[in-house]
């Protein structure tokens, strides 16, 4: 028997396009003489559809397209399609089993995730029925995403049906290291329960989320024998007759992040009807790494860099921005903000005079002038503004709302500063050249919004800051536990306060690509009005 | 027996302050010789705590403070406190029954809401145990918020225990008309099940939400016999010995909204450590109504209005802004943006020349200059910027991101334009004077960002627009159903497209006060990347 896993890039709500993509892979299935072909979780409507699931018209369109697929099926191949099924006023996260113009059966998800970025209990009713099928002498069970992460589910399945093959349809959002986790967990299950596991995962970017594909076939010894492409569409085929050798291609953490970010950028623009993007290029490391990633995602001809020096921009930074744009062959404009800045100072002087109209206020004015210019290019030419702020900044609020925080999409929003450096080094290594000038990497980080400014004047060193942020944000460790790990109390308290006092800024920040176990956005829902700082 | 319902204004995470407030009401209970005193749902930690519930330190602090309360209880009075209880790794939304330094029992919520603004299944485990108590010859049952909205719950309770009195601890977010709904539902339950219902509801603003208090005592005939204050703290006392007459004070829809907005503004500032606010005053109706509401919430001395005319501001609008500020006795500055605007045009001309550098791009530049100036006042003086955009604008994206969309908190975000007019008329009627100049109310709405601009050039008339928005957003009606109700297809399609294409803007808009059944924010979770428009 030949089973195919089609890891496709669906778009949320794009029924016609998703339908056509599914037909394309069904044609492949026919040519490959597959007995079964599986698509990812909710492949028909895209994942996650969020509150579109509350729209009757959405559920209806999804059923209409399931029927369209059904009508196209002339062969005996079993087609497993993720869709939304409906019984009276309840909806289920389901897989339809289709063949020869019939819907043979529907399996619905038993375990609905309702944590992290997931809100499935908001929409779906949990099914209570586990199922297995005898098909061409193989006992095959189905499962959808979360199901396979619940050992109780596999135990019940094994107890009731003793399947040999377990197919899982997933839409499992990426974070760095998750692939490794998935492989370990699925391998242990396969071995413990003597199963061949076929894991079919969605690929593509959808708002904050990236799905990495990386579908897997794991034999009952717990060994990976087939792997789908990472961050690309793919069709992988498992043949029960064939002998397979264990294989495993590890991917470095930074390479994973690199690929996830590129896919995230590309899909956000493509799926939202943008071809071109504009980036504010400061000459610092965040915008340099962002521009490089955007170039990889969109091509150099679809990018514009705006270099917007002020009276506080050093010549080194300015020259770095220019030489980096040249290295990348990306078009750039130099737009000094001095005259505009002077016009603000002149206009506002009467109101702020005598109290040292300095520091935060006029730093922010400069950043907001740049934001206004970026948005003018966006409005005039239809470019998307890509935001380049990193997670260390966004965590601590070390950034200007409506200034360097402008943009439709945040490239580095979930990447700590220390990892931005690693990305820069990875890029230079990959390019076999210092395509990102070394002076950009080596210069101490500065916002250059006042004379001789350094990030480290206001923030703890990034190495230290990022460690504490990770413990606090991603691991939800209480203040006291973090201090017990050996960090200075005053620093831990300062950082926690910065994080919580800047929730209001994050609520107005562009969405960005999740690459850690807990990103800002849907993943972390902390009230703005909050007096708890422990 | 005397039972008190203390509708208090807790702050999320402010354990010490909430504890002190509870002690204050316990002292009242002692003086009033109450047998029972009830506080709202999760009164100890504030509601909703959202992901703070995932922090071990938060759960621990909440238990610590429950114990502090316990230790303070010298009398026999039963104290019913909403708090988070814990069993192993599970947490529950609970009410502790405390008396004479003991925790006598805990009742935990059975029905967890996980729709609309609620995510309770993300955190809590649902209890399966319903309970009733015999106390001073009365059979009393407890319930928490959603429990009482499930008729099955009351049926089980009645079947198993036949209580005479049902106490409900709630944190029920306000929307206009909800009080009426609550009263109807609770009255029908009281009558059907022969119960005295004591409904104790939270009051106060918490981010997007306003809780309106308005606690109720309803007799077994289904008549309201006691009502707590609306939008204020209160302690109401029900005495089983006393005879009560039915009473009912209806509140007009617009008055409800008016009070909710004032409480929302006041609490957002107070709870986030702000005393003063700044508002951009255009001379249009939105900013006029907003400034009035802010004055009622904060006092005229805590407000600054910035009037920022441009070359497109009419003298009528400009004069209206000034005379309105004078009417309110609110301090204002006049800061023309012309020179700054000219400096942007000059600087950007080389890039946009020859292509009619007009319309949307330079309209937005003007709005963003105003945003920058407002934020400069915020940064320099520590004022909160209050945003004045209405729901019709926010729905259709008829507003400038980082321009008129700046601010920490949106006063009218959930108020349709047609209701802003009603608020203006209500305010003038209340003031027995045209405190809002009639010319502000009568002038056709315009953003005044280009010559002779009218909102109605780009949008359907607000009367029509708001009707369609309500059907689409609040009632989730499919496009086809809205058209069948008699609206023109092309207009319905245009509006739906505007709504969905502007989701990215709303994600970066300030949070604002929910006053309808479905507000933007936590209430409506639509993906930005979304091709579904039906």
> A486-511: per-residue pLDDT in tens?
999 999 999 999 999 999 999 999 99
Q: Where are the domains of chain B?
A: 2-249, 257-456
- Specify the 3-state DSSP secondary structure of A316: helix
- CA A185 to each of CA A210, A218, A235: distance values in angstroms, whole numbers, following the listed order: 21, 11, 23
Q: Do A532 and B61 touch (CB under 8 A)?
A: yes
Looking from the CA of A441 toward its CB, the CA atoms found within 13 Å total 16
Token pair for B242: 């006393």
The residue behind tokens 């059979």 is B139
Q: What is the pTM of this model?
A: 0.96
Catalytic amino acids of A?
41, 109, 145
| CATH annotation of A257-455+502-507 | 3.40.50.620
In CATH terms, the fold of domain B257-456 is Rossmann fold (3.40.50)
Instruction: Please confirm whether the linkage preceding B398 is cis (ω < 30° from 0).
Output: no
Pairing of strands B277-280, B384-387: parallel
The answer to whether B2-249 and B257-456 have equal CATH topology is: no
> A448-486: per-residue pLDDT in tens?
988 888 998 889 999 999 999 999 999 999 999 999 999
pLDDT at residue A355 in the model: 57
List CB contacts (< 8 A) between B532 and chain A: 12-15, 52, 55, 57-58, 61
Q: Do B51 and A526 touch (CB under 8 A)?
A: yes
pLDDT at residue B325 in the model: 98
For chain A, helix (H) and strand (E) counts, in that order, are 17, 19
List CB contacts (< 8 A) between A267 and chain B: 529
What CA–CA distance (Å, rounded) separates A86 from A103? 14
DSSP state of A153: H
Best mutation target, B51, B121, B376, to test chain A (most A CBs within 10 A):
B376
Q: Do B532 and A508 touch (CB under 8 A)?
A: no
The minimal CB distance from B529 to the residues A272, A376, A528 is found for A272
Render A445-488 in DSSP notation, one character per residue: P---SSTT--HHHHS--HHHHHHHHIIIIIS---HHHHHHTT--
B318 — pLDDT class (breaks 50, 70, 90): very high
Mean pLDDT of B435-442: 96
Mean pLDDT of B486-490: 97
Q: Do B480 and A51 touch (CB under 8 A)?
A: no
Q: Do A52 and B526 touch (CB under 8 A)?
A: yes
CB pairs under 8 A between A and B: 243
What CA–CA distance (Å, rounded) separates B271 from B445? 34
| pLDDT at A338 exceeding the cut of 90 | yes
| pLDDT at A357 exceeding the cut of 60 | no
Token pair for B141: 């049952």
Q: Do A12 and B531 touch (CB under 8 A)?
A: yes
Q: Quote ipTM for the complex.
A: 0.96
Residue B252, sorted as left (phi over 0), alpha (psi -120 to 50) or beta, turns out to be beta
pLDDT, greater one: B251 or A258: A258
The minimal CB distance from B406 to the residues A346, A357, A402 is found for A402
> B276-296: per-residue pLDDT in tens?
999 999 999 999 999 999 999
Q: How near does any CA of chain A get to the CA of B374, in Å?
A: 10
Mean pLDDT of A135-157: 97
Q: Do A372 and B365 touch (CB under 8 A)?
A: yes
Tally of residues, chain A: 534
What CA–CA distance (Å, rounded) separates A296 from A533? 41
Question: Which residues make Cβ contacts (< 8 Å) with residue B346, sequence separation at least 6?
Answer: A339
Q: Do A528 and B272 touch (CB under 8 A)?
A: yes
* CA B522 to the chain's CA centroid: 12
Mean pLDDT of B391-409: 98
Q: Do B15 and A50 touch (CB under 8 A)?
A: no
Backbone φ and ψ of A17, nearest 5°:
-65, -40
Q: How near does any CA of chain B get to the CA of A444, in Å?
A: 26
pLDDT at residue A452 in the model: 85
> A255-309: per-residue pLDDT in tens?
999 999 999 999 999 999 999 999 999 999 999 999 999 999 999 999 999 999 9
Question: Taking the C-alpha atoms of B73, B76, B78 and B79 in order, what is their torsion angle to the nearest 10 degrees?
Answer: -10
Nearest CA in chain B to A473: B55
B250 — pLDDT class (breaks 50, 70, 90): confident
Q: What is the mean pLDDT of chain B?
A: 96
| pLDDT at B486 exceeding the cut of 70 | yes
Nearest CA in chain A to B332: A351
Render A259-314 in DSSP notation, one character per residue: HHHHHHHHHHHHHTT---EEEE--SSHHHHHHHHHHHHHH-GGGEEEEE---TT--
Question: Which residues make Cβ contacts (< 8 Å) with residue B50, sequence separation at least 6?
Answer: A525, A526, A527, B119
What CA–CA distance (Å, rounded) separates A390 from A424? 13
pLDDT at residue A424 in the model: 98
Q: How near does any CA of chain B get to the CA of A349, in Å?
A: 11
Q: Do B478 and A375 touch (CB under 8 A)?
A: no
> B203-232: per-residue pLDDT in tens?
999 999 999 999 999 999 999 999 999 999
Nearest CA in chain B to A205: B529
Nearest CA in chain A to B409: A504
Question: Which residues make Cβ contacts (< 8 Å) with residue A293, sequence separation at least 6?
Answer: A258, A261, A262, A265, A411, A423
Q: How near does any CA of chain B get to the CA of A197, in Å?
A: 29
- CA A474 to each of CA A116, A478, A496: distance values in angstroms, whole numbers, following the listed order: 11, 11, 13
Q: Do B402 and A528 touch (CB under 8 A)?
A: no
- CA B33 to each of CA A227, A245, B20, B238, B239: distance values in angstroms, whole numbers, following the listed order: 72, 80, 20, 12, 11
Mean pLDDT of B3-32: 98
List CB contacts (< 8 A) between B333 and chain A: 351
pLDDT at residue B356 in the model: 54
Question: Which residues make Cβ contacts (< 8 Å) with residue B162, sequence separation at least 6?
Answer: B139
Q: How near does any CA of chain A get to the CA of B115, in Å?
A: 5
Best mutation target, B124, B528, B533, to test chain A (most A CBs within 10 A):
B528
Best mutation target, A376, A404, A529, to test chain B (most B CBs within 10 A):
A529
| pLDDT at A69 exceeding the cut of 60 | yes
- Specify the 3-state DSSP secondary structure of A169: strand
pLDDT at residue B360 in the model: 87
Residue B50, sorted as left (phi over 0), alpha (psi -120 to 50) or beta, turns out to be left
The minimal CB distance from A52 to the residues B56, B60, B532 is found for B532
> B324-359: per-residue pLDDT in tens?
999 999 999 999 999 999 999 999 999 987 555 567
List CB contacts (< 8 A) between A333 and chain B: 351
Best mutation target, B343, B471, B481, to test chain A (most A CBs within 10 A):
B343
The minimal CB distance from B361 to the residues A376, A509, A534 is found for A376
Least confident of A259-263, A374-378, A423-427, A446-450: A446-450
Q: Cβ–Cβ contacts within 10 Å for residue A20, how many? A: 10
Q: Do B347 and A357 touch (CB under 8 A)?
A: no
Token pair for B326: 């004078």
Catalytic amino acids of B?
41, 109, 145
Mean pLDDT of A329-348: 97
> A32-67: per-residue pLDDT in tens?
999 999 999 999 999 999 999 999 999 999 999 999
pLDDT at residue A358 in the model: 61
Q: Are B164 and B140 in contact, with CB atoms under 8 Å apart?
A: yes
List CB contacts (< 8 A) between B408 and chain A: 504
| pLDDT at B1 exceeding the cut of 90 | yes
Question: Which residues make Cβ contacts (< 8 Å) with residue B77, sequence separation at least 6?
Answer: B26, B29, B30, B34, B35, B36, B37, B99
Architecture of domain A2-249: 4-Layer Sandwich (3.60)
Render B507-534 in DSSP notation, one character per residue: HTSPPB---SSS-SBTTB---SS-----
Question: Which residues make Cβ contacts (< 8 Å) with residue B315, sequence separation at least 6?
Answer: none
Measured N-to-C along each axis, helices A285-298 and A315-328 cross at an angle, to the nearest 10 degrees, of 10
């Amino acid at each position: 028997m030949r089973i195919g896993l089609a890891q496709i890039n669906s778009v949320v709500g794009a029924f016609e396009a998703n339908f056509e993509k599914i037909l394309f892979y069904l044609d492949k299935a026919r040519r490959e003489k597959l007995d079964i072909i599986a698509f990812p979780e909710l492949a028909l409507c895209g994942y996650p559809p969020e509150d579109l699931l509350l729209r009757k018209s959405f559920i209806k369109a999804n059923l209409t397209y399931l029927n369209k697929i059904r009508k196209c099926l002339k062969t005996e191949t079993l087609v497993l399609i993720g869709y939304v099924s409906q019984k009276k006023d309840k909806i289920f996260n389901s897989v339809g089993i289709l063949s020869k113009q019939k819907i043979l059966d529907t399996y619905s998800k038993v375990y609905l995730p309702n944590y992290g970025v997931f809100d499935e209990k908001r929409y779906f009713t949990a099914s209570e029925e586990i199922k297995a099928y005898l098909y061409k002498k193989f006992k095959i069970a189905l499962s959808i995403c979360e199901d396979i992460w619940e050992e109780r589910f596999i135990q019940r399945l094994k107890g009731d049906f003793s399947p040999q093959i377990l197919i899982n349809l997933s839409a499992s959002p990426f974070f760095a290291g998750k692939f490794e986790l998935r492989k370990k967990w699925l391998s242990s299950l396969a071995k413990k329960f003597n199963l061949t596991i076929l894991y079919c995962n969605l690929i593509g970017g959808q708002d904050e989320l990236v799905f990495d594909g990386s579908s897997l076939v794991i034999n009952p010894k717990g060994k990976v024998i087939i792997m789908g492409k990472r961050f690309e569409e793919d069709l992988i085929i498992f043949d029960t007759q064939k002998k397979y050798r264990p294989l495993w291609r590890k991917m470095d953490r930074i390479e994973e992040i690199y690929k996830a970010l590129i896919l995230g950028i590309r899909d956000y623009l493509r799926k939202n009807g943008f071809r071109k993007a504009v980036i504010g290029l400061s000459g610092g490391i965040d915008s340099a790494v962002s521009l490089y990633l955007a170039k990889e995602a969109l091509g150099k001809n679809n990018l514009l860099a705006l270099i917007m020096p002020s009276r506080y921009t050093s010549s080194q930074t300015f020259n770095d921005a220019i030489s980096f744009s040249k290295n990348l062959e990306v078009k750039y404009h130099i737009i000094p903000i001095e005259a505009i800045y002077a016009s603000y100072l002149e206009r506002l002087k009467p109101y702020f005079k005598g109290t040292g109209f300095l520091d935060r206020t006029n730093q922010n004015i400069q950043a907001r002038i740049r934001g206004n210019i970026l948005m003018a290019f966006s409005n005039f030419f239809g470019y998307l503004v890509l935001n380049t702020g990193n997670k260390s900044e966004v965590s601590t609020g070390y950034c200007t709302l409506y200034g360097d925080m402008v943009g439709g999409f945040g490239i580095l929003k979930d990447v700590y500063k220390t990892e931005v450096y690693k990305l820069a080094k990875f890029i230079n290594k990959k390019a076999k050249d210092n395509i990102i000038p070394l002076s950009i990497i080596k210069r101490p980080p500065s916002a250059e919004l006042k004379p001789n400014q350094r990030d480290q004047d206001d923030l703890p060193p990034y190495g230290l800051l990022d460690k504490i942020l990770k413990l606090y944000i991603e691991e939800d460790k209480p203040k006291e536990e973090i201090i017990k790990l050996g960090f200075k109390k005053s620093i831990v308290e300062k950082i926690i306060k910065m994080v919580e006092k800047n929730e209001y800024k994050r609520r107005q920040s562009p969405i960005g690509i999740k690459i850690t176990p807990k990103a800002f956005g849907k993943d972390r829902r902390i009230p703005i009005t909050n007096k708890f700082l422990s």
